[in-house]
Amino acid sequence: MAASNDSLEVVRLSGSLGAEIRGIALGQAGPAEADTIRALLTEHLVLFFPEQHLSVEEHVALGRHFGELEGHPNLRNPFSDQPEIFELAASSGGLADEWHSDITFQEQPSVMAILNMVRCPAVGGDTMWANMYRAYEELSPPLRDLCDGLTALHDADPHGKRELTSIHPVVRVHPVTKRKSLFVNEHFTRRIVELSHEESAMLLGYLTRWAQNPRFSVRYRWTKGTIAMWDNRCTQHFVLNDFDEERIIQRVTIMGDEPEAAEPPRWQPWVRTGNAGATSRHDRQLNAHLGRRARDLESNRKNEQG
Ligand SMILES: O=C(O)CCC(=O)C(=O)O
Ligand SMILES: [Fe+2]
């Protein structure tokens, strides 16, 4: 039986985010435990549950309490025929050693993920998470104001699919807490839509580095059998590639919603006027995305009419 809330032990791990939780058996979690976890996640953004040792079935069942599950859109799942779970093994190159929120190249990035540490190196391979509410709130008022009115193009280039693109607000509003958070990351975010390529490189470079300020982060040292859960809407994470032994994690991903903007975009996309030859090669990806989107809107309009 899952423990009652009286025996729940919550230990904060840094000033910005993260808590280690004991006294709850995730393998038998029901709706009441799911409510408790949701509340803890809202407060701490990332949670760690040591010594859970869940089976694949228990891991998937736990995920189902929080919404619909999805497999990874680009990475294949080598170990189980359960499409809702996938595995990252260091020996097959699956390591996320750049700061990111998950799958932000999709229109609806995941809202949450649950990791099971299946094989853990004796030393190294810690994961870091960072609080994107703080990263936003600690910007100066003029920069916050500018960012509130911008959007950014994200792509799946890290998975070899540069043509998979989405545009999201640079600042998103969390549907539960209504707080604003910074929503650009060095892994998937390519371009601020309303700025020129050069201006975008400057601002995006600044924001993605700022988001990595150690003050916003927590670093977790894993042990085998630990479960971690994070809110993917207001955090980023990063795996330290500093280990020699095999490291295997399994992930269940809860499907997403469309990020809500702090306010409607204040400016049009920055598209250079003039003939095609005047277009910088750096604008091609953004122009291609905008072209695809315009064609999709047009064909939806025709379908609705027809
Ligand atoms: O291996 C980890 O600790 C996290 C990997 C990761 O980025 C993910 O599962 O989304
Ligand atoms: Fe990730």
Average confidence (pLDDT) over 272-286: 74
Which domains, ranges and CATH numbers included, belong to the chain? 1-267 (3.60.130.10)
Strand partners, 180: 173
Testing ligand 1's pocket by substitution, the residue of 237, 241, 247, 252 carrying the most ligand atoms inside 8 A of its CB is 237
What torsion, rounded to 10 degrees, do the Cα atoms 110, 112, 116, 121 define?
Answer: 80
- d(CA 130, ligand 1 centre) in Å: 13
Rounded to whole angstroms, how far apart are CA atoms 28 and 62? Answer: 8
Tokens read off for 287: 């122009």
Average confidence (pLDDT) over 174-180: 98
Q: What was the pLDDT predicted at 273? A: 67
Testing ligand 1's pocket by substitution, the residue of 47, 69, 112, 127 carrying the most ligand atoms inside 8 A of its CB is 127
Query: Annotated catalytic, 251?
Result: yes
**Per-residue pLDDT tens for 57-112?**
999 999 999 999 987 666 656 566 778 898 888 877 667 899 999 999 999 999 99
Rounded to whole angstroms, how far apart are CA atoms 24 and 49? Answer: 8
Residue 2 binned pLDDT confidence (cut-offs 50, 70, 90) = very low
Q: What was the pLDDT predicted at 62? A: 98
Testing ligand 1's pocket by substitution, the residue of 187, 233, 249, 253 carrying the most ligand atoms inside 8 A of its CB is 249
Q: What was the pLDDT predicted at 56? A: 93
Write down the catalytic residue from 72, 172, 237, 289.
237
CB of 103 within 6 A of ligand 1: the answer is no
Write the DSSP assignment of 90-111 as a string of letters.
GGGT----S-B-TTTTSSS--S
Share of residues in the chain with pLDDT > 90 (%): 81
Query: Annotated catalytic, 64?
Result: no
CB 36 within 8 A of CB 226: no
Q: Which of 185, 151, 181 is nearest to 168 (CA)?
A: 151
Q: Whose CA is nearest to atom 9 of ligand 1?
A: 251
The reported pTM is 0.93
Q: What was the pLDDT predicted at 280? A: 78
Residue 275 binned pLDDT confidence (cut-offs 50, 70, 90) = low
- d(CA 117, ligand 1 centre) in Å: 10
What is the DSSP pairing of strand 85-89 with strand 248-254? antiparallel
**Per-residue pLDDT tens for 3-59?**
445 689 999 999 999 999 999 999 999 999 999 999 999 999 999 999 999 999 999
Task: Kindly identify the ligand whose nearest atom is closest to the C-alpha of 185.
Answer: 2
CB of 127 within 6 A of ligand 1: the answer is yes
CB of 88 within 6 A of ligand 1: the answer is yes
Q: What was the pLDDT predicted at 58? A: 96
**Three-state secondary-structure class, residue 58:** helix
Average confidence (pLDDT) over 140-151: 98
**Per-residue pLDDT tens for 242-254?**
999 999 999 999 9
DSSP assignment letter at 75 = S
CB of 251 within 6 A of ligand 1: the answer is yes
Query: Annotated catalytic, 244?
Result: no
Q: What was the pLDDT predicted at 198? A: 94
**Three-state secondary-structure class, residue 66:** coil
Write down the catalytic residue from 59, 102, 168, 174.
102
Query: Angle at Cα 127 formed by Cα 213 and Cα 68, nearest 5°?
Result: 105
Q: Which of 119, 75, 69, 120 is nearest to 94 (CA)?
A: 75
CB 130 within 8 A of CB 165: no
**Three-state secondary-structure class, residue 239:** strand
Residue 177 has pLDDT above 60, yes or no: yes
Q: What was the pLDDT predicted at 278? A: 59
**Three-state secondary-structure class, residue 116:** strand
Q: What was the pLDDT predicted at 3? A: 42
Average confidence (pLDDT) over 226-234: 98
Q: Which of 191, 186, 188, 189 is nearest to 201 (CA)?
A: 191
- d(CA 102, ligand 2 centre) in Å: 5
Q: What was the pLDDT predicted at 281? A: 84
